[in-house]
Chains A and B, each alone.
Chain A
């Protein structure tokens, strides 16, 4: 299997049954991507495949063979946080942090498709990501701030 993860080629022999999230965490040692529900509901495992958000627990690694994948580890450039990461920090868009990597990647993909969203659109755009701590308020504020900072 050869997948370009965060700009680097990752070539590993894996079982056909390997999920993309297992490939990232176990073969590539990139444990920033979390497994939450493992049933495509919670969005904690969200990564970008060729720029679009997907749930990495519901995609086989084989399906991403030859693709480009971005995980939370690959968002910052030269030590500079991505605008969405920075906004989550500034607006305290997290408590325990377990959903955060997925939230951030989902937000990056969403803002790519909808650069100037309303608050309602942000809430709908993040419907695939569950947070059990925050009640979403600061997460939504962070995404709106990130949209405004571009």
Chain B
């Protein structure tokens, strides 16, 4: 869903374009024992309505429902959203917070890339030019508490800033659109681990971030949003 707009803006000018949208073998949500396996071509709408995710990984379902709008969710896929590497995308925050694994396949075989090593920079990922992202693996059990706080001006827009808190023994916090790639708020996580309250920990939300500047917000405003949204997410997640 993002490639065609990029081509219209001349930000992407591929000489050859192969549509993988009909590779239906790559659209599935399966219980694989110690993890949930999600085919790269699984559409957001399928994530939103998956009974398995409702039972095992509600956070992924909840965040998938926040992507774009109905029309976008009917066509867009988790693999497309991940491989696109846009720091303003919602789903990569979930993959980071849950320590998901990206399964990629190429001519030299298959390799596993932890989500923390997958996103390299703006629209840049660890995928080699001849590799295809085929599956996302989300470890079980799912979170005991979570909250995604997405801030934007119009309902369907990209997040100006987003903050995801996931509780699962420890508390993990991921930030959307606070740098050239989706990141974990490690300062917040450290503060929580050493006993700080949610409000105290949230004060460290902007540490280590490099918030972008655009017509929606200055970096300073984004840093303020990050602190507020992280606090709200932590409180709603019960951290």
Beta-carbon contacts of B216-239 to A below 8 Å, as 1s and 0s? 000000000000000000000000
CB closest residue in chain A, given B155: A127
Instruction: Give chain A nearest CB distance to B76 CB in angstroms.
Output: 10
Contact with B156, one of A46, A49, A58, A127 (Cβ below 8 angstroms): A127
In the bound complex, CA of A64 to CA of B123 (Å): 27
Asked if B74 contacts A58 (CB within 8 A), the reply is no
Whether A128 touches B4, Cβ cut-off 8 Å, given contacts A62-B19, A63-B19, is no
Residues on A with C-beta less than 8 A from B68 are 128
Q: Is B1 an interface residue (CB 8 A)?
A: yes
* A110 within 8 Å of B (CB atoms): yes
In the complex, whether A40 has a CB less than 8 A from a CB of chain B is: yes
- Least distance between A113 CB and chain B CB atoms (Å): 8
Residue B111 is within 8 A (CB to CB) of chain A in the complex = no
- Contact residues in B for A129 (Cβ distance below 8 Å): 69
Task: For chain B, residues 41 to 74, give those with C-beta under 8 angstroms from any C-beta of chain A.
Answer: 45, 68-72, 74
Complex CA–CA separation, A127 to B69 (angstroms): 6
- B75 contacts which of A16, A54, A106, A113 (Cβ < 8 Å)? A54
B74, closest chain A residue (CB):
A52
A138 contacts B by Cβ under 8 Å? no
A43, A55, A109 — most chain B CB neighbours (10 Å): A55
Contacts of B154 in A (CB 8 A): 127, 130
Chain A residues whose C-beta falls within 8 Å of the C-beta of B8 in the assembled complex = 38-39
Q: Which residues of B line the A interface, CB within 8 A?
A: 1, 4-5, 8, 17, 19, 21, 45, 68-72, 74-75, 154-156
Return 12 A-B CB contacts under 8 Å, by A number.
A38-B8, A41-B156, A43-B69, A52-B45, A53-B71, A58-B4, A59-B4, A106-B70, A106-B71, A110-B70, A127-B156, A129-B69
